[in-house]
Structure formats: C-alpha cells, structure tokens
C-alpha cells in the first residue's frame, strides 16, 4: 500500500463542522466514502476509484488529487484552507412534520383543543395523582 503525500493538502467542506484536510489518497478516499454529502454519480465513482488505485500504487497520488479537486470544485465542496470556506455548504436537514388533517384547523377543532387543555391541568394542591 502506498502512503505518498500530495504536493499540497486538499481542504474539503465537512458537513458544516469545518474543513476536512486530505494529505494523501487514503484521506481523500475516506472523505469520499464516509463524508461525501452530494450525489454519488459517475464522476464521484471515478474519483473514488482513482484514489483506490493511487493507494495501491498503480498511479501517481497527484492524479487522484486532481480528480478529487475537480469533483469537489464542481460540487461546491472545495475549501481554500483550514479555516475558510469558498464553496457552498450543503443545505441543513429540516424536519417538517405532516399534520393529520388535510386542511387548516376549523373553529370547532380549536375550541375542542382548548377545552382538552383545561382538563389536563395539574391539580391545585400540586400533587401528582
């Protein structure tokens, strides 16, 4: 297994946590395998395969570096350095629960909910039944 270093490290955006520093093909392979937030299309699979071949010593490490940099730049995940982010961050996941009813709440439903709230109020003496 080859552990050749890149001529310069590659900084990649790491899911809003900061930047990931890749100094060799193994680091790039790890990022692509575990932390890649974008679609895993043909270009992604090509870059990952080039990293794997570079790890095994079949190609130069710089060839894999160029493929990962091109992919990350195209996806907006390439950072300029350890503290700066020049690309776009992936959109955060937002949970939006679906309501059981298909439309807005009617006046009867609101009144029923308000009356239910008064029935579940704690007792005046503060004891739990």
State pLDDT tens for residues 55-101.
999 999 999 999 999 999 999 898 877 665 444 555 454 555 555 55
Instruction: Please tell me the predicted confidence (pLDDT) of residue 122.
Output: 59
pTM: 0.61
Q: Alpha-carbon distance 37 to 60, whole Å?
A: 26
Q: Alpha-carbon distance 117 to 95, whole Å?
A: 26
Structural domain spans, the chain: 10-79
Strand 78-79 to strand 19-22: parallel, antiparallel, or no bridges (unpaired)? Answer: unpaired
């Amino acid at each position: 297994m080859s552990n050749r270093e890149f001529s310069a490290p590659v900084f990649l955006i790491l899911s809003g946590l900061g930047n990931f520093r890749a100094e060799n093909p193994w680091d790039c392979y790890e990022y692509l395998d575990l932390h890649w937030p974008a679609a895993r299309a043909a270009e992604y699979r090509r870059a990952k395969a080039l990293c794997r071949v570079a790890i095994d010593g079949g190609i130069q490490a710089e060839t894999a570096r160029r493929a990962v940099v091109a992919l990350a730049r195209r996806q907006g995940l390439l950072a300029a350095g350890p503290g700066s982010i020049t690309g776009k961050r992936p959109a955060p996941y937002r949970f939006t629960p679906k309501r059981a009813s298909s439309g807005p709440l009617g006046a009867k439903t609101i009144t029923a909910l308000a009356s239910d709230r008064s029935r579940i109020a704690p007792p005046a003496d503060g004891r739990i039944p």
